[in-house]
Every structure is written in structure tokens, then in C-alpha cells.
Copies of this chain bind each other. A is one copy, B any other.
């Protein structure tokens, strides 16, 4: 969604004067906001033309209400409201509406639907760390809190007519390959973790699970499905045909979407640019109807939006149709309700003329759109709607700013420490070196808005009381010159402690930019080695989401500590130095594996397969399937203290599959039935109060081979366990987590031996056996049979 089509709305708002043009959103003052600021309005159900229409009757259900208003639309009016920038219908008192707002980690101006003020109220919004940092916190309560703040701020912007109520957020494609440029927008590589994360995120965004009477704001789970390649090997996302087996589609690529749609009841889904097994996702009736609506029961009060220009790509990149009108027809008939882009707007009339679609095809999508607006309270009196009362006072509150800080502090991962961290108080003079040392906007990653403030590492170090000498050493993460080394070395020699802040940024990993290497780019590693040679206490801060091979840093005795800091957001500098000085103890866990550098020469990104494959050299993907030795394991993270783990009560050693399934029949879905809840006593045996993330894995050889190395089945974060104290971590495990997926994509519970393990590296284990006949938990619809 980087290059986008924007409808430049003329002052009189008449459809005939609309001009479609390609623009790129590059900052808060883009063409989109300069032309004529878009103003959001609400229909007037008291005195407006629709006051007697059923859409204005709050006693009726949303779909009935939507049908009543959409039935009044002329064909031209249907078409004028089929795209992200909808015209509305002036004669009916329906204002224009922009469905495309963004809020990946805070209300953002990177979607054209949000208009920040140049100064004063609504000129900024809380800017949280990137989702990958939130993922590293492994804290579901925190995730929901973040989403709640964002949705509150979004409602406040909407009430000020500066943003829509629909957000193309979150990105929940599991991070299959370390090279992906957009992995930063996700919580990591594990599909169960992402599924759990998105449940809590949607809960916070939408104001509850399918809340009544009103949805707070609409979240949009994207990109459906199997999207995680941007531009690699000459292939861009709009051309890519992802070949995915039904087994891996169900168990991995769709798992977060099932959680988002079926369980968290998200109100919208975005179909992706890529093709899946030969069919462009936005033209795929199997995905959009069979899986999404029939299998997961995505209702007609919610909608599917195309990724921006993805309908266009059905023809001009995928060549799946031979014209734009045919692309529009195949998309709308497959179930793409809103065209982010302009193809529906420009070609649906031609498609109607050529009998490729009928009026009912378009009307159905409009009903879905307006039903969702009904659920947002769009047609109802604002008086009784608390969300409509939110204002600038509710944006960037002290509590929200504290939360942005907390996400960073909770998410940072201590990758190495020889005791140098936390820094001793006698270290006063700090040499702060590296391309990230004075980073500001870079700390936000992509899809961001204007933050209230941006605390750079340099500001954080200064505020922490250090006498700081800042020398970048290199001009950017990609700079290959060693011209700046001498000054950096000189500063380091004069200091008591040396901190290097580097890694990767948007120049290396971004939308439209996958990585080709996973080493420290530019001359950074040479600079790190030069600094290491000096022999001062030496800490490396590793920024960016995608991991870089830290083998040398981990093996070098001269590198005393490494902290992964991701994209830490507006309070990054403060959080970093609170960790380095010990004001806060680190407890984040790496939500992705750190692969060795040679991984990229073993398997290309076009090959989607997770399981290792000897024929292609694929060494396997993610910690579940990778057959090599990772540089840093998935879930790794050190502390400033030590923890001893033990089972709170000894878990069962035998489970009867029949009884488990019988008990599960009361759950909304069989796979959500409880397997067991495991209590773990987490005893802080060191001297520092600290959070602890309990990660529970299972390993088995039950079910179809091959078998994953292990699989995450539960996690929880306990907070502030005092030195010498203990807390109990309770990890509830659903049947789905101990299930395995067959080649048809169905989840089964198989009899056999299972081993639980806690922590990375594992501290305690428990072996149990499942007896009885295999039990099928889900019936995944077979591809090729759209209903």
C-alpha cells in the first residue's frame, strides 16, 4: 500500500469532477491533504433525507438497515461508492467517506484517510513501537491496552472529522522468511503467537469481541493470504504467485486469520496483492467465500477490501484476466467488497455493459459496507454513544505516553550480557556511536503518524545523566566507508563506556524492499570490531526488526552486551537507557529466530515451503522447521536476575482423547476446547526485580511426519517478580495447540507421546501421553470447491 490511488475531491464533491491520480503518501503534508482536506461527516437521521428510511431505525438489525438505504442507490451511485474513497450520495444526505485509514502502531498519516493538523490539536498522536516490539513483550494484556489507546485516539480524530472509523490494521501475515521487508509490522514468526496477539489486538481496537451496541473502530486483518514477499529476486508482490500446500496454508498462513475472523470477529479483511496457487487473492472465491464467509462465518455486516491497486493487478500484473473490467468483475464476484484503488470506479459500468456483473453483485458489497457503518453507530444519535464524545483531551494522554514507553521497555531483548549490564554507576563518560545513535523518526519504522515527541538514544543517554560524546562513525546503516572510524575510536578511547547503536532501518527492510543479505550492512561490523579492540566496556544496541547475524558479536569477549531494540517508538531513547542503567530489567523475548548469514544462499523467498526439502535445499523455515543451527533461538532473552522454574502442580501424564473432545463440545469451536492449564512457579533467585515471560513448547512424533522441532503452545508474562519472591504463571492451552494438521488442512488430536518444555533454552520438561483414537477437530474446506 505504498503507491496509491487517491481521489482528489473537488470542492463541490460532485462525482463528475473526481480525478483519479497516482500519488505516493510521503509525509503529513501530501497532495492528498493539500488539495482539499477531506472532511468526514455523518448522515442526519433526524432531519435528513433518510430520516424515514429503515437505516435510521435503531431497532432494526444492521443488515436490514443497510439494505434499506442501498436499495435507493442508482447504479452510478453504487459504483461511486465501491472504492476506498467513496463519494457518498449527496441527494440522500450520505457524506463521502474514506475507508482507508492506517494505525499500525498509532493513528498514522500514511493512510490518506487521516489528516493531521499542521499544529495544535490533532497535530500528533501517540506513536507506539512497531508491532514486532510489542510481539517481543509476549504480553496479551499490553497488546489489548495499546489497541485500546489507538482506537480511542482514532475515535477522537474521527470526531474531529480528521479520520475514518476503518483502519487497515493489523498486518498478521506470519513472518515466514527473515528477509521480508514488512516483518516489522507483525509480532513475529510464530503463527500461534500471532493468532493470540491479533485476538487481543482486535479486542482493543473494536472495543470488545463483536461488541454491542457499537463497534469502536473497525480493524482490518491483512493481507489475506500468504503474503510475505515485497520485492525479491525481481519479483514484486503484485506479480507473485505463492504456491502453498493446503496443510501449511491451514496450519501456518491462515492460523492468525482464523483467530482474527472466526474468534475475534474482526469487521474487515484485506485480500492481498499476491496470487495463491495461481489465483490472485482478491479474485479467489475459495479464500473470500469458502474459507472466509462459509467456514469462518464472516457475516454480511462486514467487508473485504482489496489491497490498494490489487484489483488492477489482477489484470496488469497477474494477467489473470484480459481487461480491467474483467478484473473488476472477477474480484467483486469473488467477494472483494471495496476496491482500494480506482478500477471498480472506472470499469464497473463497462463490466455491467458487458454483462460480466449484475447490479446485485455491486449492491451486495454496498450492503456489507453500510451494515458495518451501522454497527459503528454512523446513523445513530451521537448523544448516547460514548465513543462520539472522545476528543483531543483523549489523545496522547499521560497514560498513553507511559504505555508507549512500557511497550518499548517490555519488548527489548537482552541477547548477551557478561555482567557489564546494567552499567555500573561509576561509568560517567559515554561514547555513543553508530548510525542509530541520534535516530528520531527512524525509531517509528513504517506506517506512522506525527509523534508528540521522539526521544533519540542520544537524548536518552543525556537525560540518564551521562556525559555523552556522540560520533556516528558511519553516515548510515549502509555506509561502507571507514572514514569516520578514527573519530569514533578516539571518542571511545576517551570514554568510560562505549555504546554502539546500529543495525538496519527502512533503507534495508521496508515495504517494497526485501533483504538479500542478513548480515550487518555497510561498514558497521568493521566499526564494531574497531571499537571492540579498544577494550572499554562495550554495549551494542541492535535496531531494526529483521535480525542480522550476530555470530561475531556473540563470540567476541570484547562485546560485553547486546540489546535488541527493534523500532522502539517515541520513547525509545528513554526506555533504552532505563534498561542499560538497570532502572528497568529486560524481559522481552526474540519473537523470531536469528538465522546464520548463509541461510539466504540456501533457499529463495519465492519458495513458500516451511518444511525442509532435500530436493530444493530448503533447510526449513521458522524455529519449528529449520534444520540448521540458529545464531539466536526463537524465544531467547536474558535477564538481570536468575529464575528457577518448577511446575506449580505436577501436570497429568495421561489424557484420554475421547474425554478431551467430549469436554470441548461446550466451546464455540472444538479446537478452542481446553486441553489443560499449566501452572508454573517462577522464582526469582537473583537480586533484581524482573518480569518473566514463560514460554511453553510441545514436541511430539504423533501425527503426520515430518515433525516440527517444537511448537509454542502457550505463553504468559508475569510482572515484577521481586528478588527471592515467586509468582505463578498460568498457561491455558487449547486443544488446537496440541493438534497437528493433516495434508487436507484439518486439525487432529493424535494419540502418542508428547513432551512439554518451558523456557529457551528449556529449563523444565514434562512428558505425557494421549490415548484413544485420533479425533478430528476441524474440517478445513478443500481448495477448488467454492460455494
* Residues of chain A having any CB pair with chain B under 8 Å: 179, 232-235, 239-243, 245, 319, 515-517, 598, 600-609, 613-618
CB closest residue in chain B, given A275: B601
**A598 cross-chain contacts in B, Cβ below 8 A:** 239, 241, 319
5 sampled A-B residue pairs with Cβ under 8 A: A233-B604, A243-B615, A245-B615, A602-B606, A608-B617
Complex formed: what's the CA distance from A609 to B517 in Å? Answer: 23
**A606 cross-chain contacts in B, Cβ below 8 A:** 601-604, 607, 617
Complex formed: what's the CA distance from A239 to B602 in Å? Answer: 9
**A239 cross-chain contacts in B, Cβ below 8 A:** 598, 601
Which 9 pairs from chain A and chain B are nearest by CB? A234-B516, A243-B617, A604-B604, A604-B606, A233-B233, A235-B601, A607-B616, A239-B601, A234-B517
**A601 with B516, Cβ < 8 A, contacts A233-B233, A606-B617, A617-B608 known:** no
Secondary structure at the A interface, as helix, strand, loop or mixed, is: loop
Complex formed: what's the CA distance from A516 to B239 in Å? Answer: 13
Complex formed: what's the CA distance from A615 to B244 in Å? Answer: 7
Complex formed: what's the CA distance from A615 to B233 in Å? Answer: 19
CB closest residue in chain B, given A231: B516
* B605 engages A233 (CB within 8 Å): yes
* Residue among A516, A604, A608 with most chain B CB within 10 A: A604
Complex formed: what's the CA distance from A91 to B616 in Å? Answer: 53
**A242 cross-chain contacts in B, Cβ below 8 A:** 617
In-complex Cβ contact of A600 among B234, B600, B614 (8 A):
B234
* B516 engages A235 (CB within 8 Å): yes
Nearest chain B CB to A625's CB is how many angstroms away? Answer: 13
Complex formed: what's the CA distance from A240 to B516 in Å? Answer: 13
**A613 cross-chain contacts in B, Cβ below 8 A:** 615-616
Known: A235-B600, A603-B606, A604-B606. 17 other contacts (CB 8 A): A232-B233, A233-B516, A233-B605, A234-B517, A235-B516, A239-B598, A241-B601, A241-B602, A243-B614, A243-B616, A243-B617, A245-B615, A601-B606, A604-B607, A606-B607, A608-B616, A608-B617
**A601 cross-chain contacts in B, Cβ below 8 A:** 235, 239-241, 606
Complex formed: what's the CA distance from A245 to B603 in Å? Answer: 15
Complex formed: what's the CA distance from A82 to B617 in Å? Answer: 34
CB closest residue in chain B, given A516: B234
Complex formed: what's the CA distance from A516 to B514 in Å? Answer: 14
In-complex Cβ contact of A607 among B179, B232, B241, B607 (8 A):
B607
CB closest residue in chain B, given A274: B601
Nearest chain B CB to A516's CB is how many angstroms away? Answer: 2
Complex formed: what's the CA distance from A608 to B603 in Å? Answer: 10
* B617 engages A616 (CB within 8 Å): no
**A607 cross-chain contacts in B, Cβ below 8 A:** 603-604, 606-607, 616-617
Nearest chain B CB to A132's CB is how many angstroms away? Answer: 21
Nearest chain B CB to A295's CB is how many angstroms away? Answer: 23
* Residue among A517, A600, A602, A616 with most chain B CB within 10 A: A616
Complex formed: what's the CA distance from A382 to B240 in Å? Answer: 63
In-complex Cβ contact of A609 among B232, B600, B615 (8 A):
B615
* Residue among A515, A600, A607 with most chain B CB within 10 A: A607
Complex formed: what's the CA distance from A614 to B607 in Å? Answer: 10
**A233 cross-chain contacts in B, Cβ below 8 A:** 232-233, 516, 600, 604-605
Complex formed: what's the CA distance from A319 to B179 in Å? Answer: 21
CB closest residue in chain B, given A244: B617
Complex formed: what's the CA distance from A615 to B607 in Å? Answer: 8
Complex formed: what's the CA distance from A654 to B242 in Å? Answer: 46
* B605 engages A604 (CB within 8 Å): yes
**A602 cross-chain contacts in B, Cβ below 8 A:** 241, 243, 606
Nearest chain B CB to A138's CB is how many angstroms away? Answer: 31
Nearest chain B CB to A591's CB is how many angstroms away? Answer: 24
Complex formed: what's the CA distance from A614 to B615 in Å? Answer: 12
Nearest chain B CB to A257's CB is how many angstroms away? Answer: 21
Nearest chain B CB to A401's CB is how many angstroms away? Answer: 40
* Residue among A517, A600, A601 with most chain B CB within 10 A: A601
* Residue among A241, A319, A516, A615 with most chain B CB within 10 A: A615
CB closest residue in chain B, given A604: B604
Complex formed: what's the CA distance from A600 to B235 in Å? Answer: 7
In-complex Cβ contact of A616 among B234, B600, B616 (8 A):
B616
* Residue among A179, A233, A614 with most chain B CB within 10 A: A233
CB closest residue in chain B, given A277: B617
Complex formed: what's the CA distance from A614 to B616 in Å? Answer: 12
Complex formed: what's the CA distance from A497 to B639 in Å? Answer: 78
CB closest residue in chain B, given A229: B601
CB closest residue in chain B, given A238: B601
**A609 cross-chain contacts in B, Cβ below 8 A:** 615-616
**A604 cross-chain contacts in B, Cβ below 8 A:** 233, 604-607
